[in-house]
């Protein structure tokens, strides 16, 4: 869509770069979240265990490495459905448990105050907004991958746009899909992409600041700015029409919000860097 509306240069280097950033960011977050979940289960079953977070991240990364090599695209639909059911089940259990603890006398003392001075609270709000956009805007990535059905599929959903880019560079469209000419570069490029994402997740387990930056840089434009621009450019509504000025207002508002959120995210990254430690066990 971006190529047709904005042209090859803007579509490829602006929108394409943003899409690549958000997709690869999610790949890092998947490795980190999977490792954290595995560690939580491990701690519950073995409170005195000695395994560290980065070990679980590596284990989960190996699982992703296997899924990432599967070229069967329809499998993604099954995995997405299973993920949806599991997310809904988790949300239901977490909601029920929270309500139970909240009304139970056995619950801990409630403290809903926001800590910190006015400056920290203000930057905290703008730092949280892109994280929320990242959390709820991840649904746009399956939309990106669905638009690429002509490419070889992958059962690691958020890595699919990255795979398409790699196969355009290293693959040979004239050779069969499973020929050594395409199979070997695909195996190497996908493995390196997942290994790199897993390494970043293991080295930087406090990924909140980077997640906020990617949300401000990527998800806010993809979800709230570019669609309005595309609508005005494609359908060319009259400048006197309400829909034109509504889109312009949304673009200006979220562009300002995104710029402020980037500043807040960079500030948080600088603060995190003061306590930075590789392979931290958080």
**pLDDT tens by residue, 157-214:** 445 556 666 666 777 767 776 778 777 888 888 899 899 999 998 988 777 777 888 8
- DSSP assignment of 149-207 equals TTS---SSGGGHHHHHHHHHHH--TTS-TTSHHHHHHHHHHHHHHHHHHHHHHHH----
How far apart (Å, rounded) are the C-alpha atoms in residues 13 and 10?
Answer: 6
- DSSP assignment of 233-247 equals HHH---TTSHHHHHH
**Out of 3-17, 129-143, 160-174, least confident range:** 160-174
Residues 6 or more apart in contact with residue 158 via CB below 8 angstroms: 23, 26, 27, 30, 138, 141
How far apart (Å, rounded) are the C-alpha atoms in residues 252 and 193?
Answer: 35
**CA angle (211, 19, 5) in 5-degree steps:** 140
Q: How confident is the model at residue 153 (pLDDT cuts 50, 70, 90)?
A: very low
Give the containing element (helix H, strand E) for 9: helix 8-10
Task: Determine the pLDDT at residue 107.
Answer: 66
**CA angle (250, 255, 258) in 5-degree steps:** 125
Task: Indicate whether 2 pLDDT > 90.
Answer: no
State pLDDT tens for residues 40-54: 999 999 999 899 999
How far apart (Å, rounded) are the C-alpha atoms in residues 274 and 282?
Answer: 16
164 and 73 Cβ atoms separated by less than 8 Å: no
State pLDDT tens for residues 219-263: 899 888 999 999 999 999 999 999 999 999 999 999 999 999 999
Phi, psi (deg, nearest 5) at residue 191: -65, -45
pTM of the predicted model, to two decimals? Answer: 0.76
Q: Round the CA-based radius of gyration of the chain to a whole number and report it.
A: 21
The more confident residue out of 127 and 252 is 252
**Out of 68-72, 145-149, 252-256, least confident range:** 145-149
Task: Determine the pLDDT at residue 150.
Answer: 44
Reduced DSSP (H G I as helix, E B as strand, rest coil) percent helix, strand, coil of the chain, to 5: 75, 0, 25
How far apart (Å, rounded) are the C-alpha atoms in residues 99 and 164?
Answer: 44
175 and 186 Cβ atoms separated by less than 8 Å: no
The more confident residue out of 29 and 71 is 29
């Amino acid at each position: 869509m971006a190529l047709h509306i904005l042209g090859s240069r803007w579509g490829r280097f602006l929108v394409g770069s943003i899409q690549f950033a958000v997709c690869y960011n999610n790949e890092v977050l998947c490795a980190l979240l999977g490792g954290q979940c595995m560690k939580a289960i491990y701690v519950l079953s073995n409170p005195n265990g000695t395994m560290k977070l980065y070990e679980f991240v590596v284990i989960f990364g190996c699982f992703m490495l296997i899924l990432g090599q599967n070229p069967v695209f329809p499998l993604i639909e099954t995995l997405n459905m299973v993920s949806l059911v599991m997310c809904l089940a988790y949300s239901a259990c977490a909601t029920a448990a929270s309500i139970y603890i909240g009304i139970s006398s056995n619950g801990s003392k409630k403290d809903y105050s926001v800590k910190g001075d006015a400056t920290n609270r203000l930057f905290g709000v703008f730092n949280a907004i892109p994280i929320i956009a990242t959390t709820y805007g991840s649904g746009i990535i399956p939309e990106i991958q669905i638009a690429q059905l002509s490419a070889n599929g992958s059962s690691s959903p958020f890595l699919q746009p990255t795979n398409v880019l790699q196969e355009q560079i290293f693959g040979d469209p004239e050779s069969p899909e499973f020929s050594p000419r395409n199979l070997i570069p695909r195996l190497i490029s996908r493995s390196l992409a997942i290994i790199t994402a897993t390494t970043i997740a293991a080295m930087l387990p406090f990924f909140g600041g980077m997640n906020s930056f990617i949300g401000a840089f990527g998800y806010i434009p993809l979800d709230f700015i570019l669609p309005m621009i595309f609508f005005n450019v494609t359908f060319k509504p009259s400048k006197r029409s309400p829909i034109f000025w509504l889109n312009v207002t949304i673009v200006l508002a979220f562009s300002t919000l995104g710029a402020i959120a980037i500043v807040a995210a960079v500030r948080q990254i600088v603060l995190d860097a003061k306590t930075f430690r590789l392979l931290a066990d958080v």
